[in-house]
């Protein structure tokens, strides 16, 4: 039986750090899908470990908060808490939380300080989160010891054994999954410590345990990369020269651990750019406008900018049946004029799978 540990003390967070830390790995350029062409799973893992980490991490508490504040603000100018559906006016109300806890790492490892200040691993959270989450791994919580209506911590099970987990909100599960994937691939440890053994495998490939592959891939597929996550990635990449490759090239997860594991990576093909003077065979009448581009499912929608929700995702079968807040949807899209501002639950089902996505609709 896996022991359930109550965390009774709180560690000093990033807010208390004052020492400037400088780690340099040289100047790197952004990696593209073509950089992984012809590589199998092990080759992809080796390339990420060698070339996928930040060029520079030069951070103190102030510079960490400065970068996080750039992506953590919503359309209304308020700051977003990843562990609450509430926003705050002052960024000083939020703490900086490491997704992969410091206690999981070997403090003697050469890249320990770089891993601790890698912005890809840091998210904004209210001050109560660190105490409630402790060092728990991510998972499905069936009996909650803590539940604020947005995220939970408590007990779940793995192979019938009770285990302590924390479970983020559905709208952030994919974001968290891709952070854990990034940290496993960029900072593989010869010996992970404590509760990391539930998620991460010691040494090199496959990097994740069987359980880790199952839960992270499930969340990665259910909650695809959205515009908010891309904005976060852009801010981090600008600050430290490298973002999260699993945000920039989400297909890598499938080639490392999922449906294409063991296969040779094939970059997505781009259609040839048409000659602007040639007629478009799909729209021969220039007076007839093209159909609008579909909007892939994302976590946050704006009534003024998006206009509608299209039930489309590369990770969800096209023949799925959808519902919003329990009401079945007819067709493949719905106008945002018909949806109220606030949080909504989208559910889908098909022959192979079923699941749900939490979205937020803003003005």
> What is the distance between the alpha carbons of residues 220 and 250, in angstroms, rounded to a whole number?
9
Residues 165 and 71 in one domain: yes
> What is the distance between the alpha carbons of residues 112 and 107, in angstroms, rounded to a whole number?
6
* Residues 246-292 pLDDT 10s: 999 999 999 999 999 999 999 887 554 445 555 555 555 545 445 56
Q: What is the mean pLDDT of the chain?
A: 84
Where in the sequence is the domain holding 155, given as residue range(s)? 15-257
Residues 242 and 94 in one domain: yes
Residues 326 and 227 in one domain: no
Q: Report the pLDDT averaged over residues 149-164.
A: 92
Backbone angles phi, psi at 335, to 5 degrees: -75, 135
Q: What is the pLDDT of residue 58?
A: 60
For residues 95 and 127, the answer to whether their CB atoms sit within 8 Å is yes
Residue 16 scores a pLDDT above 90: no
C-alpha closest to that of 24 among 54, 46, 48: 54
* Strand ranges inside the chain, DSSP E: 21-24, 56-59, 79-80, 87-88, 95-98, 122-125, 143-147, 152-158, 161-167, 300-302, 308-310, 321-324, 327-328, 333-335, 342-349, 354-362
CA distances from 42 to 39, 205, 265 (A): 8, 6, 11
Residues 308 and 213 in one domain: no
Residue 201 scores a pLDDT above 60: yes
**Range picked from 54-63, 232-241, 349-358 for highest mean pLDDT:** 232-241
For residues 46 and 253, the answer to whether their CB atoms sit within 8 Å is no
Q: Given phi > 0 = left and psi -120 to 50 = alpha, else beta, which region is 348?
A: beta
Q: What is the pLDDT of residue 6?
A: 29
Q: Does any domain span residue 185?
A: yes
Residues 104 and 169 in one domain: yes
> What is the distance between the alpha carbons of residues 297 and 309, in angstroms, rounded to a whole number?
7
Residues 162 and 79 in one domain: yes
Residues 25 and 109 in one domain: yes
Residues 242 and 351 in one domain: no
Q: Does any domain span residue 315?
A: yes
Kindly report which listed range (128-137, 272-281, 331-340) carries the lowest average pLDDT score. Answer: 272-281
Residues 191 and 335 in one domain: no
Q: Does any domain span residue 330?
A: yes
Prior bond to 206 cis, omega within 30? yes
Q: Does any domain span residue 8?
A: no
- End-to-end C-alpha distance for the chain, whole angstroms: 48
3-state class (DSSP) for residue 181: helix
Is the whole-model pTM more than 0.75? no
CA distances from 79 to 68, 94, 97, 228, 250 (A): 10, 8, 15, 13, 26
Backbone angles phi, psi at 96, to 5 degrees: -105, 115
Residues 184 and 241 in one domain: yes
Q: Does any domain span residue 279?
A: no
Q: Does any domain span residue 180?
A: yes
Number of domains in the chain: 2
Q: Does any domain span residue 283?
A: no
Identify which has the larger pLDDT, 313 or 120.
120
Q: What is the pLDDT of residue 251?
A: 96
Among 222, 257, 292, the domain boundary falls at 257
Among 206, 227, 257, the domain boundary falls at 257
Q: What is the pLDDT of residue 213?
A: 96
Let me know how long the chain is. Answer: 363
For residues 236 and 245, the answer to whether their CB atoms sit within 8 Å is no
Residues 323 and 208 in one domain: no
Residue 328 scores a pLDDT above 50: yes
Q: Does any domain span residue 230?
A: yes
Residues 320 and 201 in one domain: no
């Amino acid at each position: 039986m896996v022991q359930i540990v109550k965390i009774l003390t709180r560690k000093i967070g990033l807010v208390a750090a004052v020492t400037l830390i400088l780690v340099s790995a040289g100047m790197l350029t952004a990696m593209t899908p073509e950089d992984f062409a012809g590589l199998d799973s092990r080759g992809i893992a080796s390339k990420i470990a060698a070339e996928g980490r930040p060029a520079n991490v030069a951070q103190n508490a102030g510079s960490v908060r400065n970068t996080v504040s750039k992506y953590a603000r919503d359309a209304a100018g308020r700051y977003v808490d990843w562990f609450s559906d509430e926003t705050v006016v002052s960024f000083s109300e939020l703490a900086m939380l490491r997704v992969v806890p410091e206690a999981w790492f070997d403090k003697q490892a050469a890249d320990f300080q770089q891993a601790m200040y890698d912005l890809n691993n840091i998210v904004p959270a209210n001050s109560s989160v660190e105490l409630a989450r402790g060092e728990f791994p991510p998972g499905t919580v069936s009996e909650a010891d803590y539940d604020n209506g947005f995220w939970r911590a408590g007990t779940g099970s793995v192979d019938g054994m009770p285990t302590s987990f924390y479970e983020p909100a559905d709208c952030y599960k994919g974001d968290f999954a891709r952070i854990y994937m990034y940290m496993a691939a960029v900072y593989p440890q010869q010996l992970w410590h404590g509760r990391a053994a539930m998620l991460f495998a010691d040494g090199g490939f496959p990097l994740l345990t069987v359980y880790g592959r199952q839960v992270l891939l499930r969340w990665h597929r259910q909650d695809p990369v959205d515009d908010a996550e891309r904005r976060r990635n852009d801010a981090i990449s600008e600050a430290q020269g490298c973002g999260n490759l699993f945000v920039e090239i989400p297909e890598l997860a499938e080639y490392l651990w999922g449906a294409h594991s063991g296969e040779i990576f094939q970059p997505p093909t781009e259609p040839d750019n048409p000659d602007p003077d040639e007629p478009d065979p799909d729209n021969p009448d220039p007076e007839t406008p093209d159909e609008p581009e579909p909007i892939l499912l994302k976590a946050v929608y704006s009534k003024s900018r998006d206009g509608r929700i299209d039930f489309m995702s590369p990770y969800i079968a096209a023949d799925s049946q959808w519902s919003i807040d329990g009401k079945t949807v007819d067709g493949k899209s719905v106008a945002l004029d018909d949806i109220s501002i606030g949080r909504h639950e989208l559910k889908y089902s098909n022959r192979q799978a079923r699941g749900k996505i939490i979205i937020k609709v803003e003005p």
